[in-house]
Structure 1
Amino acid sequence: MEKAQEWFDYGIELAKEFGPKLITALLIYIVGMWVVKKIIGGTRKVMSKSKYDESLQKFLLNLLSWSLKIFLIIIVISRLGVDVTTFAAVIAAAGLAVGLALQGSLSNFAGGVLLMIFKPYRIGDLIEAQGVLGVVKEIEIFTTKMVTPQNKLAIVPNGAMANGNIINYTAEGKMRVDTVIGVGYGEDIKKTKEVLLNVLTSNPKVLKEPAPSVNVMELADSSVNFAVRPFCKPEDYWDVYFGTYENCKIALDEAGIEIPYPHQVEIHKEA
């Protein structure tokens, strides 16, 4: 009975000593998180009104959010009576160990900073990098998210993005669509070029400048191949690509121009 009373008294003493600190720290954390959300929300509104680049906006907001939360946690810990200088030394030592273990993550963070500074691509750009072709959906602190033409989400580390080759199809505002159309050797080259060029110029998604072109590309084994080269906006690429083949086939058929294909010859042997 006396032992239980001793434990009860000890618990009361701990509650008196640490209870107010714990309650105060909890209140600071709750109010602090509310303040952090307000700061992030206000900063987001200011950036939106100032027409900040969307990629830079999300990156800076993530960085600001993490920085404020870490600062809040330090305040809460100090309110609990933990020596901040000692805590900082422990954090520094732990940070060094974690840093050595997570060199790849630090490299990705540095890559993200470089991407924000040099801006080789923005959200919404069609790019090709690290073997992935897709539209940039989001640039985060450590990774870049891309949506492929097959509507797959590709997540690529920023370190690799910053140190590798990047092809930005959107940056110039236009793309060239490369298609090849073959016709028979007996067809008139000038007439064929006129028919194919008319297909391109009649497509509203094909740009007037740079002007589309049709040129003899190759004298192949069974066909004369034409390089059919329209320009379009990046978002219209696949419509123009598939539409060019389909419309050229229809136009050539209507003009009576043959598109060669393998013929099967039957050989009849006499009995």
Structure 2
Amino acid sequence: MLLFYDTKNNIIKDKEQFDKENTRNIKACVSIISSEKQSFKISLTFGIDNKKFWEKDINISDIQKGKKINILIRNDALYWEKSPETNPYIIFREDDDFVYFIETCSDYFDVNFCPRIQLYRTKSDNQFLIKTNLLTLYNDPINPIITTKTFHEIIHEYDKDYLPEVRSYRKKLRENTEPRTSLSYMEVQLDILYQLVFLLLQENKILYNKALELIPNLDDFKNILERTYITTIKSLPDCLNEVIENKSKIRNIQKEYYVYKNHDKSNT
């Protein structure tokens, strides 16, 4: 059975209303294509003319039980000036880093900035859950369920072993390993490694000469690095304390995250 969840009044049955809607660059259509409701068609349209640029028939057997699939309009989520019919980067796969970015940015931008459709097949039976943040047209056999719950909360109602907490730990993990916050202690490690490498090269003339053959201006590179090492403005003990503090914090978050993640896998 196909269950269509509507959290922001995005799902409509009125084709005339769908056609006239001109504030959405990308819209979707979902229609049942089998009497048993075991397969359906998803199509995506673009622009005021509702020009179709992507279509896919999906059977419930196409997705394993307990799996969540995302359909993402990748390029047009970021660059509206590029028409999807000439650059249709549609992603159809399980959660990944890009999905995390999409979910994160949708918290801060209009939903059309991150257009996506989420699909989930329950573990226990043939329930098939769909949630979309696109304006979506549907046909008669579908009965949308109005809710304010997140998709993770909805899934948990059907599969009790599904852990919505994984998302919060994953988000916490990403935030604390985001390059802008981790760059400083990564730089310390790189600078120390550079110094050790040059020390080893100076102690081994054969390796040093081979390095010069590979990088003729190696000495210039070494001199520039020596003038710009982080240790020229921060003491080595302070640098090491920063590395210990940050890496320990991240390892603790990762430890919590993988406990939940492994538990979720063991129940699939």
- Report the TM-score, using the length of structure 1 for normalisation: 0.27
* Higher Rg of the two aligned structures: 1
Which of the pair is proportionally richer in helix? 1
Q: Which one has more relative contact order, counting CA pairs under 8 Å at least 6 apart?
A: 2
- Report the TM-score, using the length of structure 2 for normalisation: 0.28
